[in-house]
């Protein structure tokens, strides 16, 4: 028994799972005491600035360093020739390709790294950059991926021209990277042949960029005396980066320390290993001095890991009632000049095969053809969980296309196709087993909350009114996404499995320190992991310290990207805590002189069943575990480490609805309402979840309504600074309404699924669907992103609806 | 070679003297010569506002001001908001309303909000959004930042001595 | 990110500034608010050897009424314009226009004089000045002259301002009581230049237009007065037909440069749309005579 209010008090004191605990991280940030890369100052530190190519495709004829070296403050100028002796002018990528560190005889994309100037301070370094003279011989550039495999296309990658494959199967052209497919093409083709209705739509997912507010950079510091390399770096993957550095640099991994400190946003931009890190590291090894490199915003947008650039074709086959019988999705993927984006080695197109979405589709086939172009390398980034943004965009767009073809309501067609509650666990026709889901109630809850029928009536009335200056659109997205990479049998990077870890040490006086293999860039790990441990161990979150990012201290993990932290190291945290709890139970039994089976756990203590006054709190056991009063043969301490290899990925889902009003005369879209219902299973900190949803929706809004990386036909950037790249301010950003359902993940120790990418994955098609829905009654089935005022106006103009 | 100029100003209440080239940007002087790494650099085209400081009663992007222009100025950065161990109402409100995630935009945002509430102690939501439209955030979607500014406005109105 | 080295000068008077300009020649640039010049220098698109900072010249600031005009010092910031009770009462068009420029921080530093003298057709004040029929006081070694805004803007980055002159003051005739005003600006986001923008001043006489000024931002290499559109409206009511024709006439003089904001067709059409909306808004604010 126990008094309810006394139990509540003990529960509240823990501030564990489910509470909106205010963040422990805030204290330093609100005081301006964060420690980001550019805040780091080490004695003797030199500053490195990069010389970059003005051309997208050119041979380097000559590099003259003379004037730069004569510039006061300049210490050295490094080029590919200086990296050759250590064989680091090229580096292997995680995509089984190689990437130039500093351009060797040839540049492959505009602003590619050609040299690094080292100077005693930042200003001298930039002066030096302006004085390096490079002679180029310009070559024709390929900018349109549809031209990459043309018969007479210029060869972009002369360095691998003879290679029959680049890690993922046979290449059919020097500019071809791989072709990957999944599903059953014959079955899909048969479904299409027999279908009552088929729809086909070309759908572009344009090249965009995550653009975190802090750009990428590092401080590399090699100690010549000890042979020890320390790299402070903007990284989402400290341990993987350490392993890669060991492979590249020849420094033993035991003598490399990677430190991800405070990171000003990642969003996938800080996963790749950038040339700047490698050159700074080499420079430090050669000079024995710390080297700082931090890029500019234009460098960041132009050269670091972009996202998407998928030129897709979606096809659905259905019966006359809109039940989908077959799916064929293909995409031409523009990877830029090197295949360098992160992806599990067996999954070169990431998790694209989640493209059957929330629907029970009996026959499916998908294929991705990846090609090189003369643009920056990348592709997997920006809250995408490995191409899930691309996959979900396709299915959520295509189901609207199908609905329009059949004249079916866009909510109704989804209801008809959802995987039903009784079908879970459901294995899709592309091979993923959705462990849990409850799609119908989620959609119903949203439709009820916004009065969907009322909105459709309003829309009908507006469409009938010739005087209406605006077009009203209603967009839906009922997405299932796939996160939490991942089971090591499926997911590895360079052979290293994508498990993750948590190590917990409990102190005699009841405090805890936990270290993990993940790496927060603002997601609030120090708070949420403390909450997990607080609930598991019955110790207050306020006394639980969580650390990440220092490879000398933390157990090995694959870092934070693709919403994997809660699914993988959150699970490891629970498992490690449970090992401790199991040991504590044995100690409690010993202290209370009962069998373990006679004990039950209540919030923060073990009680003897039927004799509740006989109890031992976890706090008491913390002290006892460090004494001699232990069961025979038991070691002291309450410590545990868990390495968690997840049995499956997780499948968060959601139902989003967006209402837009489009000004016919200017093309401007006003987002009137956005209602986002997310199901991420067990919710650890509702406040933090809501913050992630706001952020992900805002990034989705930016993608849908304005972001792009435009090039001219010579591969020159046309809008690569914040003058043009659309980052919405508070004035442009809509108001977000959030809601949730809870469908716990059955295979996760806490039932949690991960959430931070969902709003981006679901938000983008929801916005797009809303804009296109506004034109649906005029026969429009698709419009490409971004839905800028200019591009929407062009649609209005083409339809002749903006004449006065 | 350009001369160095001696520049003196007050930074968070304390007198400072620096010797700088004319081209040295205020943001670099603050961060590197004066060890105030609160204000951050997020771009080079004067768009992002991460470098926002308060100079002579104005919200200013420190990346677009030369230190030599600041002789005799009175300057406030995020480091100067906490007084005598007591957080400013804005700092407290950002914490309570979850108005920050990665923390990178936060110093500039707080410093701008500080001046905004002096310009307009009781701003509407729309006025807040307009008032912070020179500060970009990628993490929060601004909604909780707006709530934080509203909360701070209420706190300051209730106890003006805390301003 | 880092500007090249230069020398820095702080004159305390306009006379000293002019003297310095004479001594230093074309390698010197004037520093007003710095929010056009410094970003260009940071990207090394501009590399002057000398900067002459106008920021400590007291006589270049201030907003005051002198007879039938408001006189504004060239170094008056956008923030100062927004906070001026005098302008709010007498020249509200200028307050509305300033509120559309950039963002709060930039408005604390950006100056009306800098915005005008740069000769950038994307800036907002040039069209506002044309609509207001303002004049500019230009001071050089040979003395002072007053030129009208109409005719000041010659081409892209080209104005009547001689290399040895400084724009010291803007003189704005106070619009008659009952004049309606509006500045309608279409832009991609906060801080962007106009895709198109139109400034309108409008006086009605009964149901008909008595007097109207229409000026266009970023529709060509200079700001434009849409004189044919103005002539068409005089003596007519503001209705669908007259608005359509005025918009068409404004569009007919546009020669916009295609860029990431849109192609020429879109920009031209938006010029028409902003003109229409500015006329409608000004009309709703115009008093009955």
Strand partners, A59: A106, A137
Helix (H, G, I), strand (E, B) or coil at B80: helix
Q: Does B68 touch chain C (CB under 8 A)?
A: yes
Residue A736: partners with Cβ closer than 8 Å, 6 or more residues away = A674, A676, A693, A694, A697, A698, B141, B143
Which member of C31, C55, C104 has the closest CB to residue B134? C104
Same domain assignment for residues B74 and B10: yes
Is the pLDDT score of C280 beyond 60? yes
Q: Which residue of B100, B132, B137 is in closest CB contact with A30?
A: B100
Residue at which a domain ends, from A303, A326, A355: A303
Contact A695 B94 (CB under 8 A): no
Residue C202 and residue C180 in contact, taking contact as beta carbons nearer than 8 Å: yes
pLDDT tens-digit profile of B60-96?
999 999 999 999 999 999 999 999 999 999 999 999 9
Report d(CA C65, CA C55) in Å as an integer.
23
How far does B12 lie from chain C, in Å, by closest CA?
19
**Residue C289 or B24, more confident:** B24
Residue A157 resides in a domain: no
Tokens of C66: 């002198």
The domain boundary residue, chosen from A588, A623, A644:
A644
Asked whether residue C270 is assigned to any structural domain, the reply reads yes
Q: Are B104 and A28 within 8 A, CB to CB?
A: no
C278 three-class SS: helix
Question: Chain C within 8 Å of B112 (Cβ-Cβ)?
Answer: yes
E runs forming strands in A239-362: 256-259, 291-294, 306-307, 310-318, 324-334
CA dist A380 and A460 (Å) reads 40
Residue numbers in C near B112 (CB within 8 A):
104-105
DSSP string, B86-117: B--HHHHHHHHTT--SS-SSHHHHHHHHHHHH
Residue B152 counted as domain residue: yes
**CA–CA separation, B117 vs B135, rounded Å?**
15
Q: Establish if C126 belongs to a structural domain.
A: yes
Question: Across the interface, do B24 and A123 touch by the CB < 8 Å criterion?
Answer: yes
Q: By CA distance, what is C261's nearest residue in A?
A: A790
Residues A354 and A467 in one domain: yes
Q: Are residues C14 and C70 in the same domain?
A: no
Domain that holds residue C232: 180-285
Q: Which of C31, C53, C105 sits opposite B60 (nearest CB)?
A: C105
Do A30 and B105 lie within an 8 Å CB cutoff?
no
Cβ atoms of A658 and A670 closer than 8 Å: no
Cα radius of gyration (chain B): 16
Structure tokens at B28: 């670099």
Q: How far is CA B81 from CA A243, A695, B155, C141, in A?
A: 42, 26, 15, 48
> What is the pLDDT at residue A346?
87
Instruction: Identify the domain boundary among B28, B56, B80.
Output: B80
pLDDT class of A343 with cuts at 50, 70, 90? confident
Is residue B64 in some structural domain? yes
Are both A19 and A54 inside the same structural domain? no
* Mean of pLDDT over chain A: 97
In this structure, the answer to whether residues A635 and A737 fall within a common structural domain is: no
Are the Cβ atoms of B52 and C105 closer than 8 angstroms?
Answer: yes
Q: How close A166 gets to chain B, by Cα (Å)?
A: 35
* Residue B113 sits at the chain C interface (C-beta within 8 Å): no
* pLDDT band (50, 70, 90) for residue C16: very high
Quick: pLDDT tens for A125-144: 999 999 999 999 999 999 99
Apex A632 CA angle, A629 and A636, nearest 5: 55
Same domain, B9 and B49: yes
Average pLDDT on A169-184 reads 96
Using pLDDT thresholds of 50, 70 and 90, give the confidence band for residue B160.
low
**Number of domains observed in the structure of chain A:** 3
What does the alpha-carbon distance between residue C116 and residue C150 come to, in Å, rounded to a whole number?
12
Residue C99 shares a structural domain with residue C141: yes
Q: Which residue of B has its CA nearest to C82?
A: B119
- Look up A147 and say whether it is catalytic: no
- Tell whether B96 and B73 lie within a shared domain: no
Helices (H) and strands (E) in chain C, counts: 11, 14
Flag whether A425 is in a domain.
yes
- In this structure, the answer to whether residues A344 and A432 fall within a common structural domain is yes
As a whole number of angstroms, the distance between CA A233 and CA A238 comes to 8
What six digits make up the tokens of A800? 């002749």
* Distance between C273 CA and the closest CA of chain A, angstroms: 7
Give the CATH number of the domain where residue A53 resides: 3.90.1170.50
- Quote the minimal CA–CA distance from B82 to chain C in Å: 22
CB atoms within 10 A of CB A196: 13
Classify residue B120: in a domain, yes or no: yes
Query: Is residue B132 less than 8 Å (CB to CB) from chain C?
Result: yes
For residue B55, give the CATH number of its domain: 3.10.20.30
Using CB atoms, which chains have 3+ pairs under 8 A with B? Answer: A, C
Q: What is the CATH number of the domain that holds B121?
A: 1.10.150.120
Does residue A726 register a pLDDT over 70? Answer: yes
Quote the minimal CA–CA distance from B19 to chain A in Å: 15
Whether A719 has its CB under 8 Å from any CB of chain B: the answer is no
Choose from A217, A720, A730, A735 for mutation: most chain B CBs within 10 A.
Answer: A730
Q: Are residues A589 and A700 in the same domain?
A: no
**CB-CB contact of A275 with A102 (8 Å):** yes
| Nearest in space to A602 (alpha carbons), one of A583, A575, A580, A581 | A581
Choice among A242, A308, A328, A383 that is catalytic: A383
- One domain, residues A704 and A785: yes
Domain end: A626, A644, A662, which one?
A644
Count structural domains, chain B: 2
Among A362, A216, A223, CA closest to A284: A223
Residue A619: give the domain boundaries.
Answer: 4-34+500-644
Which band of pLDDT confidence, cut at 50, 70 and 90, is reported for residue A2?
low
* Residue A403 counted as domain residue: yes
Question: Which of helix, strand or coil describes residue A629?
Answer: coil
In chain B, which residues have their Cβ closer than 8 Å to the Cβ of A263? 102
Q: Which two tokens stand for residue A754?
A: 């991960």
pLDDT tens profile B119-139: 999 999 999 999 999 999 999
What lies within 8 Å, CB to CB, of C178 at 6+ separation is C203, C204, C286, C287, C288, C289
Average pLDDT, chain B: 96
Q: What percent of chain B has pLDDT over 90?
A: 95
Q: Please write the tens of the pLDDT for every residue from A605-653.
A: 999 999 989 999 999 999 999 999 999 999 999 999 999 999 999 999 9
Q: CB distance from B118 to chain A under 8 Å?
A: no
CATH of residue C28: 3.30.43.10
Mean pLDDT of the region A205-216:
98
* Strand runs labelled E in C206-279: 208-217, 224-225
Distance, CA of A675 to CA of A680 (rounded, Å): 16
Over residues A474-495, the mean pLDDT reads: 95
pLDDT band at A167 (very low <50, low <70, confident <90, very high): confident
Residue A48's contacts (CB-CB under 8 Å, 6 or more residues apart) are A116, A117, A118, A125, A276, A279, A280, A283, A291, A292, A293
CB-based contacts of A733: which residues, under 8 Å, 6+ apart?
A698, A701, B129, B141, B142, B143
Contacts of C97 (CB under 8 A, 6+ apart): C124, C125, C128, C183, C199
Give domain status of residue B15, yes or no: yes
Is A730's CB within 8 Å of B132's CB? yes
Q: Is B46 on the interface with C (CB under 8 A)?
A: yes
Report d(CA A11, CA B90) in Å as an integer: 30
Q: How far apart are CA C74 and CA A332, in angstroms?
A: 55
CA distance C191 to C189: 6
A residues 199-228 lying closer than 8 A (beta carbon) to B = 211-215
Domain end marker among C173, C208, C232: C173
Q: What is the mean pLDDT of residues C212-222?
A: 97
- The number of C-beta contacts closer than 8 angstroms across B and C is 85
Q: Is residue A206 part of a domain?
A: no
**pLDDT band at residue A544 under the 50/70/90 scheme:** very high
C5, C189, C266: residue with CB nearest A790: C266
| Gap between the Cα atoms of A319 and A363, Å rounded | 13
Task: Return the beta strands (E) in C4-68 as ranges.
Answer: 7-9, 28-31, 50-53, 63-66
Choose from B53, B59, B114 for mutation: most chain C CBs within 10 A: B59
* pLDDT score recorded for residue B1: 47
Q: Is A383 a catalytic residue?
A: yes
Give a yes or no: residue A196 inside a domain: no
Q: Do residues C164 and C202 share a domain?
A: no
Residues C74 and C153 in one domain: yes
C121 in a domain, yes or no? yes
Bridge partners (DSSP) listed for residue C32: none
Do the Cβ atoms of A731 and B39 come within 8 Å? no
Angle value at C-alpha A137, between A136 and A141, nearest 5 degrees: 110
Q: Given C131, C154, C173, which residue is the final one in a domain? A: C173
> Residue C1 domain-assigned?
no
CB contact under 8 A, A38 and B41: yes
Q: Which of B51, B80, B109 marks a domain boundary?
A: B80
Cβ contacts of residue C239 below 8 Å, gap of 6+? none
Residues A46 and A128 in one domain: yes
Closest CA to C168 of C244, C116, C93, C107: C116
Of the candidates A130, A718, A727, the beta carbon closest to that of C260 is on A718
Shared domain for A594 and A574, answered yes or no, is yes
| Residues C84, C31 within the same domain | no
Residues A241 and A345 in one domain: no
**Are C188 and C119 found together in one domain?**
no
Domain span at residue B93 reads 89-157
Return the pLDDT at A29: 98
- Verify that A439 and A385 share a domain, yes or no: yes
Query: Do residues A520 and A639 both lie within one domain?
Result: yes
| pLDDT beyond 70 at C288 | no
Calpha distance C255→C271 (Å, rounded)? 10
Which of B134, B139, B144 comes nearest A522 by C-beta? B139
B47 Cβ under 8 Å from any chain C Cβ? yes
Say whether both A321 and A293 belong to one domain. no
CA distance B111 to chain C (A): 11
Chain B contact set for C31 (CB, 8 A): 69
What is the rounded average pLDDT of the residues A655-667? 98
Q: Which two tokens stand for residue B66?
A: 């030369």
Token pair, residue A519, equals 């790496």
pLDDT digits (tens, 9 = 90+) for A756-802: 999 999 999 999 999 999 999 999 999 999 999 999 999 999 999 99
Nearest Cβ partner for B42 among A213, A524, A691? A213
A707 and C CB contact within 8 Å: no
Instruction: Name every chain A residue with its beta carbon within 8 A of the beta carbon of C195.
Output: 789-790
Residue of C nearest to B113 (CA): C104
Chain C residues in contact with B66 (beta carbon < 8 A) = 8, 34, 38, 51
Q: Is the pLDDT of residue B40 over 90?
A: yes
CA-nearest residue to B127 within chain A is A731
Tell if the CB–CB gap between C109 and B49 is shorter than 8 Å: no
pLDDT at A1 over 70: no
- Chain C residue with the nearest C-alpha to that of B132: C104
Which regions of A430-484 does DSSP assign to beta strands (E)? 433-434, 470-480
pLDDT top residue among A342 and B14: B14
CATH code, A628? 3.30.365.10
Domain closes at, from B33, B51, B80: B80
Residue in this structure with the two tokens 């990284």, named with its chain if needed: A235
Half-sphere exposure of A31 (CA within 13 A, CB side): 12
Which residues on adjacent β-strands are paired with residue B1?
none
| C-beta atoms of B95 and A723 within 8 A | no
Question: How many domains is chain C partitioned into structurally?
Answer: 3
Q: For chain C, state the CA radius of gyration.
A: 19
Residue C144 and residue C104 share a domain: yes
Could you confirm whether A236 is annotated as catalytic? yes
Which residue of chain C has the CA closest to B112? Answer: C105
Give the integer Cα–Cα distance in Å for C182 and A729: 24
pLDDT of residue C287: 86
Residues of A in contact with B101 (CB under 8 A): 522-524, 691-692, 695
What is residue B2's predicted lDDT score, i.e. its pLDDT? 53
Query: How far is A259 from A235, CA to CA, in rounded Å?
Result: 8
The answer to whether residue A396 is catalytic is no
Which of A15, A99, A201, A236 is the catalytic position? A236
């Amino acid at each position: 028994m126990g008094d309810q209010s006394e139990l509540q008090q003990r529960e509240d004191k823990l501030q564990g799972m489910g509470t909106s605990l205010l963040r422990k991280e805030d204290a330093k940030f609100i005081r301006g005491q964060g420690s980001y890369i550019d805040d780091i100052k080490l004695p003797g530190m030199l500053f490195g600035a990069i010389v970059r190519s003005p051309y997208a495709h050119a041979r380097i004829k000559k590099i003259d360093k003379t004037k730069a070296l004569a510039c006061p403050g300049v210490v050295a100028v490094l080029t590919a020739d200086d990296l050759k002796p250590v064989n680091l002018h090229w580096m292997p990528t995680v995509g089984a390709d190689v990437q130039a560190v500093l351009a060797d005889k040839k540049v492959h994309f505009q602003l590619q790294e050609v040299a690094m100037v080292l100077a005693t301070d930042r200003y001298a370094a930039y002066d030096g950059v302006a004085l390096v003279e490079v002679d180029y011989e310009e070559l024709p550039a390929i900018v349109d991926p549809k031209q990459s495999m043309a018969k007479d296309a210029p060869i972009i990658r002369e360095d691998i021209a003879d290679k029959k494959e680049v890690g993922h199967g046979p290449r059919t052209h020097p500019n071809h990277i791989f072709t990957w497919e999944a599903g059953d093409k014959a079955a899909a083709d048969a479904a299409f042949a027999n279908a009552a209705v088929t729809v086909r739509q070309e759908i572009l997912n344009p090249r965009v960029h995550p653009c975190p507010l802090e750009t990428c950079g590092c401080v590399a510091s090699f100690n010549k005396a000890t042979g020890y390399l320390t790299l402070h770096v903007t990284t989402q993957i400290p341990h993987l980066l350490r392993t890669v550095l060991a492979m590249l640099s020849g420094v033993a991994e035991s003598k490399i320390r990677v430190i991800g400190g405070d990171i000003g946003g990642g969003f996938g931009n800080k996963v790749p290993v950038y040339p700047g890190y490698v050159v700074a590291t080499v420079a430090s090894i050669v000079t024995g001095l710390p080297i700082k490199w931090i890029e500019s915003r234009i460098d960041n947008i132009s050269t670091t890991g972009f996202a998407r650039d998928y030129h897709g074709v979606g096809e659905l086959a259905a019966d006359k009632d809109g039940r989908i019988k077959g799916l064929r999705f293909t995409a031409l993927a523009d990877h830029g000049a090197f295949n360098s984006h992160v992806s599990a080695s067996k999954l070169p197109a990431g998790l694209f095969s989640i493209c059957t979405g929330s629907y029970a589709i009996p026959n499916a086939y998908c294929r991705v053809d990846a090609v090189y172009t003369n643009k920056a390398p990348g592709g997997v980034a920006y809250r995408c969980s490995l191409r899930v943004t691309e996959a979900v965009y396709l299915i959520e767009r295509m189901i609207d296309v199908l609905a329009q073809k059949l004249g079916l309501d866009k909510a109704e067609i989804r209801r008809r196709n959802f995987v039903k509650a009784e079908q879970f666990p459901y294995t899709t026709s592309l091979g993923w087993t959705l462990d849990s889901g409850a799609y119908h109630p989620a959609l119903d809850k949203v439709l009820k909350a916004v009065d969907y029928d009322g909105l459709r009536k309003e829309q009908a009335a507006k469409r009938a009114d010739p005087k209406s200056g605006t077009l009203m659109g209603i967009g839906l997205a009922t997405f299932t996404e796939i996160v939490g990479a991942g089971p090591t049998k499926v997911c590895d990077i360079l052979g290293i499995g994508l498990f993750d870890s948590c190590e917990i040490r409990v102190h005699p006086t009841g405090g805890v320190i936990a270290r993990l293999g993940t790496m927060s860039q603002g997601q609030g790990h120090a708070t949420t992991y403390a909450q997990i441990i607080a609930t598991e161990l019955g110790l207050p979150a306020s006394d639980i310290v969580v650390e990440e990012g220092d490879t000398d201290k933390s157990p090995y993990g694959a870092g934070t990207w693709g919403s994997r932290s809660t699914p993988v190291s959150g699970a490891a945290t629970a498992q490690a805590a449970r090992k401790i709890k199991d040991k504590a139970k044995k100690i409690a039994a010993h202290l209370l002189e009962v069998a373990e089976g006679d004990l039950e756990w209540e919030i923060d203590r073990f009680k003897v069943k039927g004799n509740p006054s006989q109890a031992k709190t976890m706090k008491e056991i913390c002290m006892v575990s460090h004494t001699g009063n232990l069961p025979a043969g038991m070691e002291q301490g309450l410590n545990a480490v868990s390495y968690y290899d997840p049995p499956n990925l997780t499948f968060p889902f959601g139902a989003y609805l967006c209402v837009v009003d489009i000004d016919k005369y200017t093309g401007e879209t006003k987002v009137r309402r956005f209602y986002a219902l997310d199901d991420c299973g067990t919710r650890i900190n509702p406040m933090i979840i809501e913050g992630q949803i706001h952020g992900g929706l805002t990034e989705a809004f930016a993608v849908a309504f304005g972001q792009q990386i435009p090039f001219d036909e010579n591969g020159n950037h046309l809008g690569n600074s914040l003058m043009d790249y659309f980052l919405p301010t508070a004035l442009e950003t809509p108001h977000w309404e959030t809601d949730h359902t809870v469908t716990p993940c059955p295979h996760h120790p806490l039932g949690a699924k991960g959430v931070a990418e969902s709003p981006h994955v679901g938000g983008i098609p929801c916005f797009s669907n809303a804009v296109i829905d506004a034109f649906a009654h005029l026969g429009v089935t698709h419009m490409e992103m971004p839905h800028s005022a200019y591009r929407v106006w062009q649609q209005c103009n083409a339809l002749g609806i903006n004449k006065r | 070679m350009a001369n160095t100029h001696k520049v003196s100003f007050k930074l968070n209440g304390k007198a400072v003297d620096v010797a700088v080239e004319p081209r040295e940007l205020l943001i670099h002087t603050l961060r590197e010569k004066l060890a105030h790494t609160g204000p951050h650099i997020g771009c080079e085209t004067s768009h992002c506002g991460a470098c926002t400081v308060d100079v002579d009663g104005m919200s200013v992007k420190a990346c677009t001001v030369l230190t030599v222009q600041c002789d005799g100025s009175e300057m406030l950065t995020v480091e100067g908001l906490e007084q005598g161990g007591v957080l400013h109402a804005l700092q407290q409100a950002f914490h309570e309303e979850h108005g920050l995630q990665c923390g990178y935009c936060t110093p500039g945002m707080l410093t701008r909000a500080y001046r905004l509430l002096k310009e307009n102690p009781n701003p509407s939501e729309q006025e807040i959004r307009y008032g912070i439209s020179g500060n970009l955030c990628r993490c929060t979607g601004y909604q909780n930042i707006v709530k934080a500014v509203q909360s701070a406005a209420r706190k300051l109105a209730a106890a003006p001595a805390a301003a | 990110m880092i500007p090249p080295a230069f020398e820095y000068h702080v004159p305390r008077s306009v006379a000293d500034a002019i003297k310095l300009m004479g001594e230093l020649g074309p390698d010197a640039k004037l520093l007003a608010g710095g929010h056009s010049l410094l970003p260009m220098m940071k990207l090394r698109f501009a590399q002057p050897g000398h900067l002459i900072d106008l920021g400590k010249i007291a006589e270049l600031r201030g907003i005051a009424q002198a007879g039938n005009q408001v006189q504004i010092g060239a170094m008056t910031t956008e923030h100062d314009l927004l906070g001026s009770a005098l302008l709010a009462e007498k020249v509200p068009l200028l307050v509305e226009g300033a509120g559309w420029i950039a963002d709060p921080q930039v408005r604390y530093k950006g100056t009306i004089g800098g915005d005008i003298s740069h000769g950038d057709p994307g800036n907002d004040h040039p069209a506002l000045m044309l609509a207001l029929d303002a004049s500019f006081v230009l001071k050089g070694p040979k003395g002072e002259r007053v030129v009208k805004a109409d005719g000041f803007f010659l081409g892209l980055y080209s104005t009547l301002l001689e290399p040895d002159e400084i724009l010291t003051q803007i003189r704005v005739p106070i619009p008659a009581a009952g004049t309606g005003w509006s500045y309608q600006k279409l832009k991609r986001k906060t801080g962007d230049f106009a895709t198109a923008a139109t400034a309108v001043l409008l006086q009605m006489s009964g149901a008909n237009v008595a007097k109207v000024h229409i000026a266009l931002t970023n529709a060509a290499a200079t700001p434009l007065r849409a004189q044919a559109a103005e002539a068409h409206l005089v003596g007519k009511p503001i209705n669908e037909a007259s608005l359509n024709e005025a918009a068409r006439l404004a569009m007919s003089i546009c020669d916009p440069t295609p860029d990431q904001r849109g192609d020429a067709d879109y920009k031209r059409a938006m010029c028409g749309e902003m003109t229409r909306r500015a006329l409608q808004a000004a009309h709703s604010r115009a008093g009955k005579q």
